[in-house]
Structure 1
Amino acid sequence: MDNAPIPNPETRLGVIKRCLHVLALLQNPDDPVDWNAGSLADLLSMDEPLEPLSDKAVRDYIKKYLVSEMGIDINTMKGSKRTGLAIDLETDLSTRLAGVYSSFVVKDTGREIVLKRLMKQHPRDGLWMLARIYFAALLKKKIEFEYTPALATEPKHYRVHPYHLVFRNNNLYLACKSLSHNVTALFIMNRIMGLKVLDEEFEDKVPPVEEIFKDSLGSFIGKKYAVVLRFHEKLLGTMEENLSILEPDITPDGNEYYHASFTVSDDRYLCKQLFLYGRDVEILEPAELRETMKSMLRKSWSVYKE
Structure 2
Amino acid sequence: MPKGTNQKFKLYRLAQIMLENTDEEHYITMPEIIDALGTYGVTADRKSIYADLRDLEILGINVEGEPVGNRYHYHVVDRPFELPELKLLVDAIQSSKFITEKKSNALIRKLERFVSRYDAQKLQRQVYVSGRIKTMNESIYYTVDAIHNAISMNKKIRFQYYQWNVQKEMELRHNGAWYCISPWGLSWEGENYYLVGFDQGAGKIKHYRVDKMLHIRIMEEAREGKEHFQRLDMADYTRKSFGMFGGKEQNVRLLVDNELAGVMIDRFGKDVMMIPSGEDHFTVNVDVRVSRQFLGWVFSLGEQVEILSPEEVRSAMKEEIQKHMRQYQ
**Given the two structures, how large is their TM-score scaled by the length of structure 1?**
0.62
Q: CA deviation at 1:184?
A: 1.4
**Which residue number in structure 2 is paired with residue 109 of structure 1?**
94
Q: 2:24 aligns with which of 40, 56, 67?
A: 40
Question: Cα gap change, 1:58/1:142 in structure 2, threshold over 3 Å: closer, same or farther?
Answer: farther
The one of 186, 190, 205 aligned to 1:184: 205
Amino acid at match of 2:150: A
CA apart distance, 1:163: 1.8
Match of residue 288 from structure 1: 312
Q: Which amino acid aligns with 1:287?
A: E
Question: Residue 237 and residue 173 in structure 1: after superposition, are their counterparts in 2 closer, same or farther (change >3 A)?
Answer: closer
1:194-233 to 2 correspondences below 5 Å: 194-202=215-223, 204=226, 209-233=234-258
Equivalent residue letter for 2:259: K
Three-state SS of the structure 2 residue aligned to 1:239 is helix
Q: How does 1:1-306 map to 2 (within 5 A)?
A: 5-7=14-16, 40=24, 42=26, 64-65=59-60, 101=86, 104-106=89-91, 108-111=93-96, 113-116=97-100, 122-123=137-138, 125-148=139-162, 154-202=175-223, 204=226, 209-244=234-269, 247-305=271-329
Write the distance in 2 (CA, Å) between the matches of 1:297 and 1:56.
76
How many percent of aligned residue pairs carry the same amino acid? Answer: 19
> Following the alignment from structure 1 to structure 2, what is the Cα–Cα distance between the partners of residues 297 and 60?
71
CA deviations 1:89-129 (Å, max 9, x no partner) are: xxxxx9xx99x846644254331x32228987544x44332
Provide the rounded CA distance (Å) in 2 between the counterparts of 1:255 and 1:226: 25
Question: Structure 2: how far apart are the matches of 1:276 and 1:201?
Answer: 43
Name the CA distance, whole Å, in 2 between partners of 1:288 and 1:275. 16
**Contact in 2 for aligned 1:40/1:58 (Cα 8 Å):** no
Q: Equivalents in 2 of 1:253, 1:114: separation in Å? A: 42
Measured on the aligned residues, the alpha-carbon RMSD in Å equals: 4.4
Aligned mates of 1:144, 1:211 — CA distance in 2: 26
Cα–Cα, structure 1 residues 265 and 172, in superposed 2: closer, same or farther, change >3 Å? same
Aligned residues: 242
8 Å contact 2:182–2:197 — kept in the other structure?
A: yes
Secondary structure of the corresponding residue to residue 6 of structure 1: helix
Distance 1:290 1:276, change over 3 A: same
- The structure in which a higher percent of residues are strand is 2
For structure 2, the 5+ residue unaligned runs are 1-12, 28-35, 37-48, 67-76, 104-134, 166-172
- What is the alpha-carbon distance in structure 2 between the residues aligned to residue 106 and residue 56 of structure 1? 39
CA-CA distance at 1:158 after TM superposition: 1.7
- Label 1:163 to 1:260 Cα distance change in 2 as closer, same or farther (>3 A): same
Please give the per-residue CA displacement for 1:193-212, whole angstroms capped at 9, x wherever unaligned: 33221122236265553243
Asked if the contact 1:229–1:284 (Cα under 8 Å) also holds between the matched residues in 2, the reply is yes
- Conserved? CA contact 1:118–1:190, under 8 Å: no
Match of 1:114, as an amino acid?
F
User: CA separation in 2, counterparts of 1:165 and 1:285?
Assistant: 32
Partner SS for 1:154: helix
- Please say which structure displays the higher CA radius of gyration: 2
TM-score (norm 2): 0.59
SS of residue matched to 1:40: coil
Look up the equivalent residue of 1:221 and give its one-letter code: G
Instruction: Find the aligned partners of 1:234 and 1:271 in 2 and give their Cα distance.
Output: 20
